Amino acid sequence: MSHELPKVLIPENKIKQKIQDLATEIAFDYRGKEITAICVLKGSYVFFADLIRKIDLPLSCEFIGLSSYGDKTESSGEVKLTLDLTEPLQGRHVIIIEDIVDSGLTMQYLVNNLKARKPATLKVCTLLHKPDALQCELQLDYVGFKLGREFVVGYGLDYAGRFRNLPYIGILEHEH
Ligand code: PRP
C-alpha cells in the first residue's frame, strides 16, 4: 500500500470560501423558512458538517446512506440504500447535500426516492459535479466546483475506504 498523498486539486482555503458562498446563497433563498438538510453518507459528511454550520437559518439534519461504487472507481449503476432517514419529509423544505454528482445515478435514485415522501420543496446542493460524466437528466440547484472526468478523493471522498480524512480534494496519480 502506497503512502504517497494525492495531488492537490482544490485546496482547503478554496473549499472553505466556496462553502461560505453556497451557505450565503442558500440562506438567502430560504429566508423565512426552515430547512431539512439531508446528508448522503458516507461521502458527504465532511462537506455537510462544514456547510450547515455556515447556514444562518433554522435547520434540522437527516442522514441517508447510499452506495454504488464499492471499492471501484466507476459506479456499478446499482444504488443500494444502506441507511434510511428517521423522520418523515412531508411538507418540509428539503435540501440534499452531496459531495459529488458523477454519473448522476445516485442522485437520480435519491431524488425519486425523496419526492415520493412529498416534501414541500426539494433541492440539490453538491460540492462537486462532473458534467461530462453525467448519464441522466438532473437538476442541480447549488454546485460548488465543476470537474472533468478525473477520479478525486479527500474531503469525505474515498478510494477503497481511504482518503476521506484529507482536508483537500486531490487526484490519485498512481495506483494505491
Ligand atoms: C459516491 C458519492 C456519491 C456518488 C456519486 O458515493 O458520495 O454519493 O458516489 O456518484 P454517481 O453520481 O456516479 O452515482 P459511493 O457510492 O462511493 O459511496 P460513499 O459515499 O459511501 O463513498
Cα of 162 vs centre of ligand 1, distance in Å, is: 14
User: Which domain does 97 fall in, by range?
Assistant: 7-67+77-171
In this prediction, residue 176 carries a pLDDT of 54
Q: For the chain, how many structural domains are there in total?
A: 1
Active site residues: 102
Are the CB atoms for 157 and 99 separated by under 8 Å? yes
Strand residue runs (E) in 27-137: 35-41, 59-67, 80-83, 93-101, 121-129
In this prediction, residue 100 carries a pLDDT of 97
The Cα-based distances of 14 to 5, 6, 118, 168, 169 in angstroms read 19, 17, 36, 9, 10
Residue 11: inside a domain: yes
Task: Find, among 28, 61, 65, 26, the residue nearest to 43 by Cα.
Answer: 65
In this prediction, residue 152 carries a pLDDT of 96
Residue 2: inside a domain: no
pTM: 0.94
In this prediction, residue 2 carries a pLDDT of 62
Residue 72: inside a domain: no
- Omega before residue 42 within 30° of 0, cis: yes
In this prediction, residue 71 carries a pLDDT of 65
In this prediction, residue 108 carries a pLDDT of 96
Pocket of ligand 1 (CB under 6 A): 40, 42-43, 66-69, 75, 98-107, 158
Task: Find, among 155, 162, 176, 159, the residue nearest to 8 by Cα.
Answer: 155
Residue 1: inside a domain: no
Residue 136: inside a domain: yes
Cα of 105 vs centre of ligand 1, distance in Å, is: 9
In this prediction, residue 107 carries a pLDDT of 96
Residue 57: inside a domain: yes
**CATH number of the domain that 115 lies in?**
3.40.50.2020
In this prediction, residue 77 carries a pLDDT of 74
Residue 166: inside a domain: yes
Q: Which three cell numbers stand for residue 141?
A: 440547484
Residue 176: inside a domain: no
Each residue's pLDDT, cut to its tens digit, for the chain (176 residues) gives: 567 799 999 999 999 999 999 999 999 999 999 999 999 999 999 999 999 999 999 999 999 999 887 666 666 678 999 999 999 999 999 999 999 999 999 999 999 999 999 999 999 999 999 999 999 999 999 999 999 999 999 999 999 999 999 999 999 886 55
